[in-house]
Amino acid sequence: MSDSPLGELAAFAGRWAGSGAGHYPTIESFAYREEIEFTPSGKPFLSYRSRTWNGITGQPMHTECGYLRRTVSGQAELLVSQPIGLNEIYRATLSRGALDFVTHTLAVSPEAKPVKQIRRAFVLIEDVLTYDMWMAHADTPLTHHLHAELQRVSESGLIEVHDRPVDSAEDLSRRRDRRQDVPREK
């Protein structure tokens, strides 16, 4: 157990960069680059920011921010705000580097897209952070939407996300399919 107020969540602190693939029944598959930052605060939470860029053109695609926090009961909570009108609160138990978040609250603004449900998972193995997201939208049931593999970026190693080759959506999907499922919280 860590002496940090974050406990085992301290392992997530840092900057992560890599590539991902998106797919959904209603859109064309796509590749993207992503950077996630978990910034320590000295308190039992990390500030969270995610930014993505188109893997081919480099155009910005999505951003979101929030907090990853350790609760008094020892659970992890991920609080996310998206500029498209979504606010999300998730809970998980950290188990062997995996955070398989269960939705606690999904708040949708009156003019947001008709998102019905989101599920997220982070898996941390050494210096590789894997991220998956599932979404239910309009009439589409909960379906896998995003998969990314990110490397920890060292303080001295300035990796420019736009200058690295992007794995194809198919390559990332194959790797995602080969990885073991994240254990579900009961």
Domain assignment present for 143: yes
Closest CA relative to residue 6, chosen from 61, 89, 84, 75 = 75
d(CA 20, CA 182): 18
Domain assignment present for 183: no
Contact 108, 169 (CB under 8 A): no
- Compute the mean pLDDT over every residue in the chain, rounded to the nearest whole number: 88
For residue 108, the one-letter residue type is V
pLDDT digits (tens, 9 = 90+) for 135-181: 999 999 999 999 999 999 987 554 444 444 455 555 555 555 544 44
Domain assignment present for 2: no
Closest CA relative to residue 119, chosen from 184, 178, 38 = 184
Domain assignment present for 90: yes
- The tally of domains found in the chain comes to 1
Closest CA relative to residue 92, chosen from 115, 67, 121, 112 = 121
Full domain range(s) for residue 26: 7-178
Total residue count of the chain as it appears in this document: 186
Domain assignment present for 184: no
pLDDT digits (tens, 9 = 90+) for 72-110: 998 999 999 999 999 999 999 999 999 999 999 999 999
User: Looking at residue 68, which CATH number applies to its domain?
Assistant: 2.40.128.20
Domain assignment present for 16: yes
Mean pLDDT across the stretch 20-45?
A: 97
Domain assignment present for 95: yes
Domain assignment present for 11: yes
